[in-house]
Amino acid sequence: MAVYTMKEAKPAPSTSKGLVFWLRENLFSTIPNTLLTLLGIYFIYTTIPPLLDWMIFDATWSGTKEEVVKEGARWIFIIEKFDQFMYGFYPEALHWRPNLVAIISIIFVFFIPRLSSIKIKFVSMLLYPVVCFILIRGGLGLEVVGTEKWGGLMLTILVAAVGIIASFPIGILLALGRQSDNMPIVKTLCVGFIEFIRGVPLITILFMASVVLPLFFSDGIEFDKLLRALIGITLFQAAYIAEVIRGGLQAIPKGQYEASESLGLSYWQGMILIILPQALKISIPNLVGSFISLFKDTTLVLIIGLFDILAMVTLTNSDTSWLGFEIEGYVFVTLIYWVFCFSMSQYSRVIERRYNTDH
């Protein structure tokens, strides 16, 4: 027989810590790893400095295009056309309205998750789109600006935002419908809708929305082109959201449904209070992935004659006094898209961390 005493925890030996240890362990642990490290360093050395030279150190930031002497990017083109990239043909005197919407949106995105009262959250979520719509389109004493004048980054964000916000509740309902085994007709309709939309490219849906949809309406009714695109994009996105959320729903253990039922909660109470919060939480990464795809896909609206930011760049490039500035324009658009998509992905991480309760 033997009895042992309890031992105190000791600090880890110093040979397993420090910079040199980390380098040896991670960058130069084996010969292949060392080769890959050197190759990586070489690749960075050959690409990054020339890129920085072109974009920053040799770039022209001011003056007219006749005065350009440096070899780098001529950002004067972007500066000259900046307003068109941002607002399209929106009247210059009214640019403050989309700007105000942008400020409201930033405040909205950052403060809504922090509100504790569900009532205030709900009211502001209902109010937000109405306020934004009136500010951008006009009405209630504000000068009306027709949708044919909307364009640029403003239009890109607007199309993406409407697509995301409107498709979300529809997607949830579709996902729940697809899960409802005790309502075969509802289930079949949901499955049919989702599978149809997912089997068709967005471009086709946009064409259908802009060309086919008006055929169903009598001649007198003029149906706004932007509205048609928004309906098409919303339905398209809803089908994808539905599948993402269905994945989340399937990950919720059966016991959660049973506990909610056994406490006497109704179907909708159980869904809203128990199942959906958990399902949506695990779906955040995939939802945001799908939102990012949508943000980039919005550029397809140019094929039905709407001028988003990419279309504006193409358009300004055909301005005879500014020929040959394509590269600057497309690099600028690339940066804009990257900034927005990267921000969305970072925002999703923040949200994920906030709602994390497993520890």
Partner 1 sequence: MSEQDYMISMQDVNKWYGDFHVLKDVNLNIKKGEKVVICGPSGSGKSTTIRCLNHLEKFQEGKININGTDLIEDVKVVRHIRSQVGMVFQHFNLFPHLSVLENLLLAPTWVHKKPRHEAIKTAMMYLERVKIADQAHKYPNQLSGGQQQRVAIARCLCINPEIMLFDEPTSALDPEMVSEVLDVMVELADEGITMICVTHEMGFAKKVADRVIFMDAGQIIEENEPHEFFDNPQSDRLKLFLEQILSH
- Taking alpha carbons only, the member of 172, 178, 230 closest to residue 205 is 230
For residues 350 and 342, the answer to whether their CB atoms sit within 8 Å is no
CA 263 to chain centre: 38
Verify binding: residue 182, partner 1, rule CB under 8 A: no
Verify binding: residue 120, partner 1, rule CB under 8 A: no
Among 263, 327, 339, 350, binds partner 1 (CB under 8 A): 263
* Cα radius of gyration rounded to whole Å, the chain: 27
Verify binding: residue 256, partner 1, rule CB under 8 A: yes
- Taking alpha carbons only, the member of 89, 84, 222, 86 closest to residue 145 is 89
Among 273, 303, 327, 339, binds partner 1 (CB under 8 A): 273
* Span of 91-99, 216-224, 265-273, 334-342 interacting with partner 1 by CB under 8 A: 265-273
Verify binding: residue 104, partner 1, rule CB under 8 A: no
Among 274, 301, 310, 312, binds partner 1 (CB under 8 A): 274
Place of tokens 């406490």: 263
d(CA 91, CA 149): 8
For residues 168 and 245, the answer to whether their CB atoms sit within 8 Å is no
For residues 194 and 289, the answer to whether their CB atoms sit within 8 Å is no
Among 277, 285, 305, 324, binds partner 1 (CB under 8 A): 277
| Partners of 48 in beta bridges | none
Verify binding: residue 261, partner 1, rule CB under 8 A: yes
d(CA 98, CA 124): 19
- Taking alpha carbons only, the member of 112, 66, 237, 266 closest to residue 166 is 237
140: left (phi over 0), alpha (psi -120 to 50) or beta: left
* Span of 25-33, 262-270, 301-309, 321-329 interacting with partner 1 by CB under 8 A: 262-270
Among 255, 318, 321, 353, binds partner 1 (CB under 8 A): 255
Residue with smaller CB distance to partner 1, 92 or 358: 358
Among 46, 218, 262, 321, binds partner 1 (CB under 8 A): 262
d(CA 157, CA 99): 12
Shortest Å, Cβ 109 to partner 1:
22
Verify binding: residue 180, partner 1, rule CB under 8 A: no
Shortest Å, Cβ 350 to partner 1:
17
Shortest Å, Cβ 279 to partner 1:
10
Verify binding: residue 359, partner 1, rule CB under 8 A: yes
- Taking alpha carbons only, the member of 173, 152, 32 closest to residue 102 is 152
- Restricted to residues 319-358, the positions that interact with partner 1 (CB under 8 A) are 355, 357-358
Q: Would you tell me which residues interact with partner 1 (CB under 8 A)?
A: 253, 255-256, 258-266, 269, 273-274, 277-278, 281, 355, 357-359
